[in-house]
Chains A and B, each alone.
Chain A
């Protein structure tokens, strides 16, 4: 063999190594693609919310060679954060409505469609529009599935008039805002809080606060009944109660907010506007029922919605270095659908997406996933039209228990933070920071 021949055969090897790099993009022992073809690793992301959009954007930022397909059923992005401001008439729908145009310019294949089936053996995703897309790695970012069937009478007909407004859209957020505007002064707004874990732990209490701020100004004789499926406020309890006392007479005979713990809605009557709990039938002029939640339906399709023991369960156990399912190879789950100790927030979904993107970029280059990832949460909640407060958390990867045994998939240890990560009190400056967070998280997620 002479030098020229060696170079030729080395070129063949180089070709194979690069294809091997592609094989490194999957954890299954699949046969390498044909030597010499310019195949690119294929990542399909389902869902363009805070998790999926961020993941797609950051994969392209960190490893442009990866071919990213993003499948999203909505034509526009509706932000759940600050959607309570729309319900309370502090803001309009356009303040939470954003376009996907910039992201479409970054993502290789943008598919506006609904996923109907996932085959994790053939590694394909099928859509209602009849497309079949193949992947090397699949990222599920579908958020939450609302369990309407757990509330008697909350059928498709009832859903036409009874809104959850827990996934923002004109038909949910917009309609609830209209219902409250049409409610006469002196009316009763009945809203529910699902049993935890649910998306946005402080969200229901923010909703009660902001609707109270609207009533205080526009319909001062009106009341809010909060039916909480939990035994107490599930988030920022001290801060919300202080705000309710300060602004809305909470704890007095004239409180605008009537808070009722341990009151999980069991039934809904859309015609009579009645919400039934285990104890009571509560009638309102406007009723707003938020069902309990489990991981999105696409997680069921991919067979990753399970308990830690592998039996069918509500959320998706994942490895915290990659967000890959503990049970199905090459399928990653980020955001609200994942089983974790994280609050189900937009900030968390955004940060989980970056760990997933960074590790996918590494693995597609034949390297190890990110070592010891750290993620952080910052959740602002408004308590009135001008005040807000926050809870923050930082989580650090650990994979060894007290006895020195390896923890499968690892764990994310909440770091000890001053004041348990909470604001000392609501403030106007934090309302300004909340708006700043909103501007940047939207920009960071959607490349706007």
Chain B
């Protein structure tokens, strides 16, 4: 019995390991947030003339993205990138970069 039980657990283990769970929201968020890095630096720490975006208050971050999208804040390129993401995604970015 002991052996059989162990084997059945082994089988369960195999099934559990091959079944895929849904992609984690965090994985998608960090992938999308990392889009920003080639201009704003890894984790938003900029090395050049483009502003850093790490460690900003979340509300401020989200409001800037919304203002870029509406044109309330003039931009060379950010109004265009802002148009490619949703408000919920802005909030994700704000959360992600706030702690970097």
Residues on A facing B (Cβ under 8 Å): 1, 5, 9-10, 12-14, 16-17, 19-21, 23-24, 32, 58, 62, 346-347, 350-351, 354-355, 358-359, 361-363, 366-376, 378, 390, 392-394, 396, 415-419, 421, 423, 427, 429-430, 432-433, 435-441, 443-445, 447
Contacts and interface: CB of A to CB of B under 8 A. Distances in A.
Contacts of A396: 84
A318 to B, nearest CB: 16
Nearest to A443: B47
A444 B32 contact: no
Contact of A361 (B9, B27, B77): B27
Contacts of B98: none
Contacts of B80: 392, 394, 417-419, 421
B27 A5 contact: no
Contact of B85 (A358, A374, A436): A374
Given A354-B34, A415-B83, A418-B79, A373 B28 contact: yes
A74 to B, nearest CB: 21
Nearest to A362: B27
Given A347-B38, A427-B76, A440-B37, A9 B27 contact: no
B2 to A, nearest CB: 5
A388 to B, nearest CB: 10
A20 B24 contact: no
Contact of A430 (B28, B32, B76): B76
Given A12-B6, A58-B34, A17 B27 contact: no
Interface of B: 1-2, 5-6, 9-10, 12-14, 16-24, 27-28, 30-32, 34-35, 37-42, 46-50, 71, 76-77, 79-81, 83-85, 89
A375 B35 contact: yes
Return the 6 tightest CB-CB contacts between A and B, nearest first. Answer: A20-B17, A394-B84, A436-B48, A439-B48, A436-B49, A436-B50
Contact of B13 (A13, A367, A371, A392): A13
Given A13-B9, A392-B77, A437 B38 contact: yes
B9 A9 contact: yes
A19 B10 CA distance: 12
A443 B42 contact: yes
Nearest to A346: B38
Given A374-B84, A437-B38, A354 B31 contact: yes
Chain A interface main SS type: helix
A371 B2 contact: no
Contacts of A350: 37-38
A118 to B, nearest CB: 26
A435 B23 contact: no
A347 B39 CA distance: 9
Given A16-B14, A354-B35, A440-B40, A390 B77 contact: yes
B47 to A, nearest CB: 4
A80 to B, nearest CB: 14
Nearest to A394: B84
Given A359-B27, A417-B80, A444-B38, 17 more contacts: A21-B17, A346-B38, A354-B35, A362-B27, A363-B20, A371-B28, A373-B31, A374-B84, A378-B81, A390-B76, A423-B77, A440-B37, A440-B46, A440-B48, A441-B39, A444-B42, A447-B42
A444 B41 contact: yes
Contact of B31 (A366, A367, A370): A370
Contacts of A366: 17-21
Contacts of B37: 350, 440, 444
Contacts of B40: 440
Nearest to B51: A436
A26 B80 CA distance: 38
Contacts of A351: 34-35, 38
23 contacts: A1-B1, A13-B6, A16-B13, A351-B38, A366-B19, A366-B21, A367-B24, A368-B21, A370-B28, A371-B22, A374-B85, A394-B85, A415-B84, A417-B84, A418-B79, A433-B49, A433-B77, A436-B49, A437-B50, A439-B48, A440-B37, A440-B42, A445-B38
A298 B34 CA distance: 27
B35 A370 contact: no
A368 B23 contact: yes
A270 B84 CA distance: 47
B90 to A, nearest CB: 12
Nearest to A376: B35
A362 B26 CA distance: 10
Nearest to B34: A354
A358 B41 contact: no
Given A9-B2, A16-B13, A351-B35, A358 B21 contact: no
